Chains A and B, each alone.
Chain A
Amino acid sequence: MNIELRQPDISQKAKLKIVDVDIHPKSSIEDLKPFLSQRWWDHLQTYGGRTRQGFAKTYPYPKGQPIASRRDSWPPGGGLPASDLNFMKQQYLDLFPIEHAIMNPLSPTGQGDQNDEFSAAMAFAANEFQLEGWNRRDPRLLSSVIVAFEDANAAIAEIRKRAGDKRFAHVLFKSRTVEAMGKRRYWPIYEAAIEAGFPIGVHVFGTSGRPASNTGWPSFYIEDMTEHSSCCQAQVASLVLEGVFERYPELKIIMIEAGFGWMPSLGWRMDKNWKRMKDEVPHLKLAPSEYMRRNIWVSTQPMEEAEEPDQLMEVMNWVGFDRIMYASDYPHWDFDDPIMALPPSLTDEQRAKLYYKNAYALYGLG
């Protein structure tokens, strides 16, 4: 018996449009082959990737659900979750009023590979495949500029190739960089992104060799899931305190998939310490929280679920209703359903901002 599981009930939630800032269409190594030179294809076949983790072909532990994906997201016709555009449309893109969805490919992309040249070649191929394999077939799917962010020169070259191309939304980093993101080795990348007109999306995870926590590798997946937020706090603190936003006031950073409940406490802590230690960081002209509110955006999923919904509203108010953007993380298991995920007490205007208006403004869409 085929039955329609559900129709989205959006009639009461204003006339919705949705820009989703985080989905994960899946590509295979073979998909990238047409965009790799023979030299790098042969290299990949002979040596494979060399990420800084214990296993060459997988992550060191299962991820809650197979391939970290919703169990109902495996395409009926076969293949991995989110590898089949038609099924993805049926299950997500067409089921909801998705106007755009920003692709943040996690693998294979070459990001975090120890071999810088290979990392750059893979990033180029993954970018080409986003255009050819996804965006061309469904222009709602916007690409990320994947860069080999541990090699600034390679990253800059890739960003310049994509400058002005409206099929790309942002430059993509992973949150576990070799050094904290405020360090100067990354500054030229920020400069190139600004010149090219791109914000920088920082998606959690990464295989540059760092655990999510500041205290070593966790035993449990639940720790990993929880510590994305502490990892991103460290990144925001570094970006603010190193003076990146003083040097690049136009830089726009989106922390993706890290939640945002931590934003107020991080801002309060930094502000308090700054009042006592201004002379250590004299390059800061504003209170740290003011840079956060000027240069940092966040995505919703996986949103904190407070016992008292009003507490979440207060946190959102601190972050700013113009800084928060809806994300689904489709097809991953911690997917947020757009209709169910946001607090019901949002006003229509706040809801519209989270669903699309903030993304319109940040990415120049609409």
Chain B
Amino acid sequence: MPSYVVASVDEIPPGKRKLVDVNGRAIVVFNLDGEFYALNNRCPHRGGSLAHGIQTGLVESKEPGQYCYSRLGEMVKCPWHGWEFDIRTGKSWCDPGRIRVRQYPVAVKPGTELVEGPHVAQTFPVRVENNYVVVEM
């Protein structure tokens, strides 16, 4: 599977994300506490751009009057109709069995390894002293 260098690690600090073009496809890469996740940017509901949505938490309730708010920043909410997706799995909160955003494998690799190839660096300048986020597609 070809892999693509999409960012240096320090470009996407924890809690941030970056919208990238991978082989003509819009992909949004998230950093959750040092772990990187890549999702197709297009919301499977009606096509909103997830990179323009807010990252939010998970609100759950066992019964009326009680609630639990957890996993802050681990859900992305579509900027249009507010569909929420679990960044770690791509699954939708409302209908996880059926509706999910396509997720792509991500790895962090050192520049020393990347300079060798066979990764497709596109126009991205790779330096041996940095670490890079690499998406497989």
Contacts and interface: CB of A to CB of B under 8 A. Distances in A.
Interface string B49-73: 1001110000000000000000000
A5 B41 contact: yes
B82 A336 contact: no
Nearest to A341: B46
Interface in B5-50: 18-21, 26, 41-42, 46-49
Nearest to B79: A71
Contacts of A337: 46-47, 80
23 contacts: A1-B18, A1-B19, A1-B21, A3-B19, A5-B26, A5-B41, A5-B49, A65-B82, A70-B48, A70-B79, A71-B53, A71-B54, A71-B80, A72-B48, A72-B52, A72-B79, A333-B79, A333-B81, A333-B82, A337-B80, A339-B47, A340-B47, A341-B46
A6 B46 CA distance: 12
A336 B52 CA distance: 17
Interface residues of A, number: 17
Interface string B81-93: 1100000000000
Interface of B: 18-21, 26, 41-42, 46-49, 52-54, 79-82
A341 B20 CA distance: 26
A363 interface: no
A139 interface: no
B84 to A, nearest CB: 13
A335 interface: yes
Contacts of B46: 336-337, 340-341
Contacts, number: 47
Contacts of B49: 5-6, 72
Nearest to A333: B80
A3 B18 CA distance: 11
A84 to B, nearest CB: 16
A340 B53 CA distance: 19
Interface of A: 1, 3, 5-6, 64-65, 70-72, 333-337, 339-341
Nearest to A72: B52
A5 B52 CA distance: 11
A228 to B, nearest CB: 16
B36 to A, nearest CB: 17
Contacts of B19: 1, 3
A70 B80 contact: yes
A3 B80 contact: no
A64 B82 CA distance: 8
A3 B47 CA distance: 16
Contact of B21 (A3, A333, A334, A336): A3
Contacts of B54: 71
A337 B81 CA distance: 11
Contact of A65 (B18, B20, B42, B79): B79
Given A5-B26, A336-B46, 6 more contacts: A3-B21, A3-B26, A6-B42, A71-B53, A334-B80, A335-B80
